Amino acid sequence: MKKVGVAILGLGVVGGGTYQILTQNREFYQKTQDVDIVVESVLELNRERALSLGVPAEKIMTNIAEVVCNPDVNIVVEVIGGIDAAKEYVLAALNAGKTVVTSNKELFCKYSHELERAAKRQNAGLYFEASCVGGVPIIRTLLDGLQANHITSMMGIINGTTNYILTKMSNEGMTYEDALKEAQRLGYAEANPTADVEGFDAAYKLSILSSLAFHTKVPFSKVFREGITQITQEAIADGKQLGYCLKLLAIGKQTDAGIEVRVHPTFVRKDHPLAAVNDSFNAVYLHGDAVDDVMLYGRGAGALPTGSAIVSDIIYAATHSESRYSTFKNTANADKSVNFPSDFSSAYYLRLSVTDRTGVLAKITNIFGKNNISIVEMQQKILDGDKAAVTFITHESRELAIRDAVSKINALEFASVDSVLRVVS
């Protein structure tokens, strides 16, 4: 039976979960995969934490050189997060000829071209299933399940923190601030939640996934990004009344104009499969030219779900002798022949505060008409005094046309735009 030695860099939540899975299931993998996977060492400065997880004292290392110089280590697992140290350690492992498995979406998104170049030089493997959507096997599906297809679009709820917050705001009427505090209390959100709530985390993942799906480099800098910090209960209530629920969606599309990649809060029809994805769960909805629609759903984070993805990569690497790399030219920047249109098309929700008097709506709709924006649905609610709230759902419109209309409406004396959200039918 083939023996494979593994080193784990970092024993935090995910590293600890990975260690637990590997040690508890060692005999199971021997039986089902015909491979003996042994944790040969861990890199962990908190010695007491490592010992509490059952790591033998002699296997606890404190510097990367001890790990990569060990001839019994075949696969190095990076789960420390961040950029600087993680990049240094991963490159050290690859340059030593070790296969690397990483869960680090920011590192892989920004530096996969450097990591892959180092891996190719040494004919080492580089695996990253756990970098996107936790325990949901989206990367393996794109590489090994849907390769018969031209993927034309993907939509996903790929950040559990924001999905939890929006679920609490929608289902329990929480304010954004209260929902965020609850997410932090449960460990779904960091003390500094910026990466999640401002859409950075989802944009890193979309960069990786769209590069794989569309077989071309999609840099993070090309991803349109908008977070959830400005979402109000009024907008959520309007959506419910109109038959929508609110999700932070990552959207990638291959169109005649080029590749659209965007992350933003989106109203989704309540009968769409993504509308039922709540709390910290994630899902990705794909369309292929042959397979039609496919949706993958599951836990998007956590020690064991993410550890499951890491161990899946370990087993794959251990049972496949030939290393595989990108199906496209993996460089720092996008191919010059690929266009990333910023003036994408979508339906929109707009909520306006207006003075309730004759002629107001006519002037607003005149602005819409001059920007080729047509209306599917409109509702008006009388507020205090002579004020009213007016909501619109548009037909498919151009992003730049909507922005121009919003700017012109805000310049009116008697109206202002409170919310603008994109809509998926």
User: Cβ distance 238 to 413 under 8 Å?
Assistant: no
Paired tokens of 151: 């993927």
Integer-rounded Cα radius of gyration of the chain: 24
Nearest C-alpha neighbor of 70 from the set 40, 94, 47: 40
Report the largest interatomic distance among the alpha carbons of the chain, rounded to a whole angstrom: 83
Q: Phi/psi class of residue 173: alpha, beta or left (left: φ > 0; alpha: ψ in -120 to 50)?
A: left
Catalytic annotation, pick one of 205, 217, 247, 408? 205
Judged by DSSP in three states, 354 sits in strand
Of 166, 251, 148, 246, the closest CA to residue 205 belongs to: 251
Q: Which 3 state secondary structure label does DSSP give 319?
A: helix
Dihedral angle sign, alpha carbons of residues 130, 132, 136, 138: negative
Q: Tokens for 330?
A: 């993996």
Q: Write out the E strands in 308-413.
A: 345-355, 375-382, 387-394, 397-398
Active site residue 205: yes
Beta bridge partners of 419: 351
What residues are labeled active site? 205
